[in-house]
Structure 1
């Protein structure tokens, strides 16, 4: 491979990666920023990225908007923050003018502080809903009838007694109208015993099946582990069109599905049911972004929606340094009637930093093992 080819390949990964990451980070921080302004908090800086400043300007309210050299995150810094993580450092506070004193974050009520912190993840979820709703409204949704085309030998479906031509009308009592719904339920329920309501020869019968884990390659050659029932679809595809309100509802449902599936996977990792090799870091995100970009801009925007859900979810984990950690501290403050000591909060942030760094290192190690073909 020539140097030019290598540079072209790098750009092919880097540009889509930066697009996805910067959109998701910007929206997250914008959520914090907008609600902070509404709550009367003075924002000192709005930064996309960390480290040396590449570009910056100051708006009429004194907020410095900056683009930094390391685009792996961002922050909104309030007038009384000691650092970008809003952590208490124990250092003496610099005296502020009466106007700036009124705009301090720490003097606001618990409800307002919690709203400002929660606004970041909420903005991520709203972005995902808006993107999915736009696609549902603009392009519609392909729908296939939940008809069984064929049954794979030695599969969970074969063991359960599925037959060609079966119409699956419900899973665990929930109605099914699209083959894609079967795939979503089964893909997230490997090893669970599911009850299928099936119409066959004019009668409704009940079948019990336990989807099996299977490792397979996606369209880009990446290994993925999914639950499979072992059936194929049949029947003609129809395009379901949505009005604005229906599209928003479908977008919210899609966002919830991604959130639920992600949480189920993490729970199974903790319980030892699934391996942690699907956890990915920046290298993995860059690789997927570059691959998805080959399918077109619409596919890349859809990936941004999926990533936005993930970023919103991760930030709500009750880990000090993340938004969820701040919310946890506020909950303790509400119960105790006073905040934790600066020392206790400082220790919490150090623990949170350690956990976040450990997770990033583990995810990056997974990326390297996957990239080199060792893992």
Structure 2
């Protein structure tokens, strides 16, 4: 598969998985009445921005994640204080629609004055001294604060993240990983409908690939052939039976009964002794086999999806456990480059394998985000748990510092993993 195609597929996969994750945060935050300032896919410079209602939807340069920025989740602006000179733009009804904090002389159609009193969280009012005269002004609940070329919508207290109950905040945070798990389950459902399930009544096994330069290739076996018997012994749809019969040949020629496009063929093949990676010598002919499939029933589809989700989650959790409690090995981790390489290998196997891979990546992202690492959803849930126990919130500035440090550590780890991925590819 071409490198450009692999890159596009990988970016598309990340886009789907990350968008679903952030949509979970966004949807449940909106349901709780929280102002979501930005829905971003990627980090770094903006490539595309579109504002709908109160939220700016952005696509950013580095496809390494995303975020749903909620008002009041982290410290945003320095407080606007009495004694500060500002400019305000009023609606026809005399309500403040914009508040300018800088470049006041360059603003047009504004009223400039010194703040005597301000409350833009609860009472939504400003008392402004304009040329020695006090003006009492109402502030629109969706007014914008403009500073340093940026616009930030005011966030009344009841629209802020920290004003909501611990339960609503926890749901808005947990919803990201939850949506990844839902996506993975849906993809497993799609996969089993596309790929099917093993046909118990099958009398043969399918040749899924033939290795060039092997006895099978020389004998003329082709991908898609259905092997029904070897030396007259039926394989009964079991992959292990083929292996056993080839090993039992002792290296002597065997005759494979094959179905190819409705035609029955007898193909003689001489197995060859091959040394495996663990040093064992086995007889092989150079084919990969797969069971014949049939369309899954409704019940089988959900059973498969449930089992696949359970097995995938267990495997990822077990790998994390070994990584943390046994021996940390950076070679067990894969960054964007490693994922790109794996995606290329998997995509070449067909759309069904790509669906399966995307489901596993989605589970991985969901579990990873629930780890108690600063900046991730897991650590934010822990802070909320502490708040629930203490019955008072943790200082947002202190929590922000913890998340900032966590972001730095994860960024450094990502650089190290990416560097290791590149070295692994170079070394082959």
Report the TM-score when normalising by structure 1. Answer: 0.66
Q: Partner of 1:44: helix, strand, or coil?
A: strand
Residue correspondence of structure 1 range 1-375 to structure 2 within 5 A: 9-59=2-52, 61-78=53-70, 80-81=71-72, 86-88=73-75, 91-92=78-79, 95=120, 97-98=140-141, 100-101=155-156, 102-142=158-198, 237=291, 239=293, 241-272=295-326, 275-373=329-427
Deviation digits for residues 105-149 of structure 1, max 9, x if unmatched?
A: 22111000000000000000110100101222343223789xxxx
The question of whether the paired residues in 2 share the 8 Å contact of 1:121 and 1:313 is answered with: yes
C-alpha deviation, 1:248, in angstroms? 2.9
The question of whether the paired residues in 1 share the 8 Å contact of 2:191 and 2:355 is answered with: no
Q: Distance in 2 between matches of 1:110 and 1:40?
A: 14
**Distance verdict in 2 for CA 1:240–1:330, change over 3 Å:** farther
**Distance verdict in 2 for CA 1:333–1:263, change over 3 Å:** same
Q: What runs of 5+ residues in structure 1 fail to find an aligned partner?
A: 1-7, 146-177, 181-214, 217-224
Deviation digits for residues 206-261 of structure 1, max 9, x if unmatched?
A: xxxxxxxxx96xxxxxxxx9xxxx9x9xx994646544454234213212211211
Q: Distance in 1 between matches of 2:192 and 2:307?
A: 12
The question of whether the paired residues in 2 share the 8 Å contact of 1:117 and 1:323 is answered with: yes
Q: Partner of 2:162: helix, strand, or coil?
A: coil
Q: Distance in 2 between matches of 1:44 and 1:343?
A: 19
Higher normalized helix content (fraction of residues): 1
The question of whether the paired residues in 1 share the 8 Å contact of 2:74 and 2:400 is answered with: yes
**Distance verdict in 2 for CA 1:356–1:37, change over 3 Å:** same
**Distance verdict in 2 for CA 1:110–1:143, change over 3 Å:** farther
Q: Distance in 2 between matches of 1:88 and 1:179?
A: 60
Higher relative contact order (CA 8 A, sep 6+): 1
Q: Partner of 2:331: helix, strand, or coil?
A: helix
Q: What runs of 5+ residues in structure 2 fail to find an aligned partner?
A: 81-118, 122-139, 143-154, 202-237, 241-275
273-282 or 300-309, which moves further after superposition?
273-282
Q: CA RMSD in A?
A: 3.3
The question of whether the paired residues in 1 share the 8 Å contact of 2:187 and 2:356 is answered with: yes
